[in-house]
């Protein structure tokens, strides 16, 4: 990708895996207005780039994925600007969740506040064994505002979500795995593990992956079953469906075309 950002690094490899890195290691990759604006722009560009088949989001350095928001900026908020900032973060993170390519958060260190919310907006989360997660906003007299109250509840359940939000305590990678907040813990590079998982996912039918993401997004909406049936039927008319079932019956590996 040609666009150059001040707070982000964006690279696409030969296989189509895009790595987006929040690049403020001296600030523990904290989310300020500039980061959010550039993240918004980068996600739009990734969505329109047909060469990008999957996405890894991570943070620069070994200490932090994203260690929260910029407290100095937060301290200046009033009720009107506060709601506006919350909606801005929610909208950007929803764009990430709504991507129809697989998105993995590679969490290499602290994922706190807005950083934890960013990780939860990704479809999957892989954590380095020394990573830590938390939503400490109550210690600032706030609540999570970038979708954290909603996504944490979906991932770990109402009771555990309320516990973590109301105490503001951090959970280490192993506990995060045990409660369902992360999908995998690794003693190796979280980015490398994320790319390895994406390589496996990208061998599957790309239209099926796209529709699977959309179907799961509809869970709990009241129309989830109808959405699943519609997307299932849609796939039955694709070339990939014919190729996948034909390859199975012919005992060979499928060659998906994305059509």
Q: Any idea which residues carry the catalytic annotation?
A: 117, 137
Is-contact 124 100, C-beta < 8 A?
no
Angle at 211 (CA atoms; ends 37, 150), nearest 5 degrees: 50
Q: How big is the chain by its Cα radius of gyration, in Å? A: 19
């Amino acid at each position: 990708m040609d666009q150059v950002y001040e707070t982000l690094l964006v690279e696409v490899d030969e296989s189509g895996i895009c790595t987006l890195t929040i690049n403020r290691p001296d600030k523990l990759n904290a989310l300020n207005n500039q980061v959010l604006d550039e993240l918004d722009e980068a996600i739009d560009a990734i969505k329109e780039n047909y060469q990008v088949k999957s996405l890894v989001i991570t943070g620069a350095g070994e200490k932090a994925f994203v260690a929260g928001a910029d407290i100095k900026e937060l301290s200046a908020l009033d009720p009107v600007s506060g709601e506006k900032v919350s909606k801005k973060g929610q909208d950007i993170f929803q764009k990430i969740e709504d991507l129809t390519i697989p998105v993995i958060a590679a969490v290499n260190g602290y994922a706190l506040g807005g950083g934890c919310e960013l990780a939860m907006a990704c479809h999957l989360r892989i954590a380095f064994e020394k990573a830590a997660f938390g939503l400490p906003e109550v210690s600032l007299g706030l609540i999570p505002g970038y979708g954290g109250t909603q996504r944490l509840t979906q991932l770990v359940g109402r009771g555990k979500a309320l516990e973590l939000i109301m105490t503001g305590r951090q959970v280490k990678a192993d506990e995060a795995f045990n409660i369902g907040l992360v999908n995998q813990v690794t003693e190796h590079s979280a980015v490398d593990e994320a790319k390895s998982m994406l390589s496996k996912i990208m061998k599957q039918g790309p239209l099926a992956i796209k529709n699977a993401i959309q179907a799961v997004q509809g869970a709990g909406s009241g129309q989830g079953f109808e959405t699943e049936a519609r997307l299932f039927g849609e796939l039955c008319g694709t070339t990939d469906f014919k190729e996948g079932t034909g390859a199975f019956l012919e005992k060979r590996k499928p060659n998906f075309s994305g059509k």
